[in-house]
Structure formats: C-alpha cells, structure tokens
Amino acid sequence: MSGPSKPASFIRRLDMEYKTKGVCSQKIKFEIKDGKVFNVNFVGGCDGNTKGVARLVDGMEVQEVIKRLEGIHCGFRGTSCPDQLANALKAATEQN
C-alpha cells in the first residue's frame, strides 16, 4: 500500500510521458516545475485542439488543470484528450 501522494507544489521538476487510453492521441509529454504544468505536447489527436489545450494550461497550477479538465468527454467516449491530460497529471503527482 502506498502512502499519500505529495502535493504538486512539492515536485520541483518532473519530465513525464503518459500513454493515453481511449482517445485519438497516443501519448502526452509534459513537464511539472514547482507545481505548474509546462511544455505539454500531445502525440496524435486533433492537432488544433490539442495545441490549444496545451497553450491554455501552460504555466497553470497542476491541481487547477486537473480540476478544469477532469471528466470532459469526447463524443461517445468516456474520456477525451483533456481528460487524459488530467489523468496524466494525477498519475504524475501520485507517483512522486
């Protein structure tokens, strides 16, 4: 059993690559520095939409990104590229 996850603000710097599930993009690359998200890059997916999401969240607090993007669905899917980014950020904060 693992202990409680560290708040994102305690992660000084983390480079992450997350394999997505159930969406058109194959993976998401990003950095977390001092509790903020930077350099988000979706591999695959709807190019304009994923670039837009990446720019909008750049420099935003990890927990705020999760709060805003978690639960967004794309069509009939139970998830979306933004939701997968929220999942990736949660996974990053839980593992560190």
- pLDDT grade, residue 11 (50/70/90)? low
Q: What is the pLDDT of residue 2?
A: 44
CATH of 8-95, one of 3.30.390, 3.30.310, 3.40.50, 1.10.150: 3.30.390
Q: pLDDT class for 3, splitting at 50, 70, 90?
A: very low
Q: Name the pairing type of β-strands 36-44 and 13-19.
A: unpaired
What pLDDT is attached to residue 1? 41
Pinpoint the alpha helices (H) of 21-75: 47-57, 62-69
Residue 20 DSSP class: -
Domain boundaries, the chain: 8-95
Interval 32-49 mean pLDDT: 97
Nearest to 36 by CA among 77, 96, 93, 95: 93
Mean pLDDT over 46-62 rounds to: 98
Determine the Cα–Cα distance for residues 33 and 56; give it in Å rounded to an integer.
16
pLDDT for res 14: 84
